[in-house]
Amino acid sequence: MVALQHEPSGRDRILGAARDLFAAHGFHQTSMAELAAAAKVSVGQIYRLFKGKEDIIDAIVANDTRDREAMILALQRRLDAGEISIERTFELLLLEMMDNPHEALSFDILAEGFRNERVAQIIADMCAHFRKSLGDFATIANPALSGKALEGAEEIILACMFGLGHRSLSGSALSAECTARQAADMLVAALRAMS
């Protein structure tokens, strides 16, 4: 029973250390020995919990996906309850996307998505999930949207979320708050103008 009680904390420590090391040096440039040292566990313990580095990346992506889905669902609930406007919903969504302390890791993960079928599948599933919620948001902004117009709108909101969520290399002078507010207003105006 002791092992069972300790496993979750060992697992979380490994995932936390992996996130930091992968972000700083890259996924492929981090060895299991470095990871074990940073997580204060043995290499053997890592291999008891994960099949290998790819399995750790899978777990990180799955965690991030769960967090983001929960964030979107929480926004959707507040929107449905009439607590926040559709503009404010997009604004908060974009602010969450821009609050990305591990952008470098996120690029490594995306690159990995092209070389690792499982990671690609997790990313595609996450996007499909996002798209459903974004479609709901888009039809709240413009109830007339349907079919290809709605699909396109979902895709473009997703692109905007993704682009703004990876803006730190572009060297923008504008604050995240200002950008999110303006992008939200632009999205709602664009959605309302669609037929």
Query: Which of 3, 50, 110, 135 forms a contact with a second copy (CB under 8 A)?
Result: 110
Query: Which of 3, 4, 81, 193 forms a contact with a second copy (CB under 8 A)?
Result: 193
Q: Which stretch binds a second copy (CB under 8 A): 33-41, 49-57, 74-82, 176-184?
A: 176-184
> Counting contacts by CB under 8 A, is residue 142 touching a second copy?
no
| Rg value, the chain, Cα | 19
Distances (CA, A) of 16 to 20, 32, 48, 53, 126: 6, 14, 17, 14, 21
Beta strands in 34-160 (DSSP E): none
Asked if 106 and 126 touch (Cβ cutoff 8 Å), the reply is: no
Cα–Cα nearest to 57, from 114, 118, 129: 118
Query: Which of 21, 113, 134, 137 forms a contact with a second copy (CB under 8 A)?
Result: 113
Near a second copy in 76-105, by CB under 8 A: 103-105
Near a second copy in 115-134, by CB under 8 A: 115, 120, 123-124, 127-128
Report in angstroms how near the CB of residue 16 gets to a second copy at its nearest: 19
Near a second copy in 22-61, by CB under 8 A: 23-26, 28-29
d(CA 95, CA 71): 11
Report in angstroms how near the CB of residue 47 gets to a second copy at its nearest: 21
- Please list, residue by residue across 8-20, b when 16 or more beta carbons sit within 10 angstroms of its beta carbon and e when fewer do: eebbeebbebbbb
| Dihedral, 178, 180, 186, 192 alpha carbons, nearest 10 | -140
Binding site for a second copy (CB under 8 A): 23-26, 28-29, 103-105, 107-108, 110-111, 113-115, 120, 123-124, 127-128, 148-149, 151-153, 155-156, 158-164, 166-167, 169-174, 178-179, 182-183, 185-187, 189-191, 193-194
